[in-house]
Amino acid sequence: MSHSTDDRRVLAEIEQRLARDDPEVFALFATLIQQFPPAPEEPLPPARTKRRRLRRRPAVILFALIAVLGLILTALLSAPPSPPSGEDTPAGTHSESVLTPPGR
């Protein structure tokens, strides 16, 4: 991962402060960096990038299908049940207006 110019400047300042504040720790880090140098960053070859895109496409399509199926199931399962045809309204519910007296 490449660093921007600002990042490099900030890292250089931190390195200078560490060298000034604690020279022993700075020497230890310098020794470790010499023993284990950072790997050079190489850009991915175009074929490898294309393979990654080809692997992502089925995953995105599968995720979209699962999301759509989930929305459909949620809509179906959260809908209020409709009474079977030919049956009266359930007990406790009134089909008449509140303003009309019963029996009229």
What confidence tens digit (pLDDT) does each residue in 49-67 have? 666 667 788 888 999 999 9
Q: Which residues contact 18 (CB under 8 A, 6 or more apart)?
A: 25, 26, 29
Residue ranges, the chain, pLDDT below 70: 1-3, 42-53, 83-84, 86-104
Crossing angle, helix 23-35 and helix 5-21, to 10 degrees?
130
pTM of the model: 0.33
Distance CA 91, CA 76 (A): 25
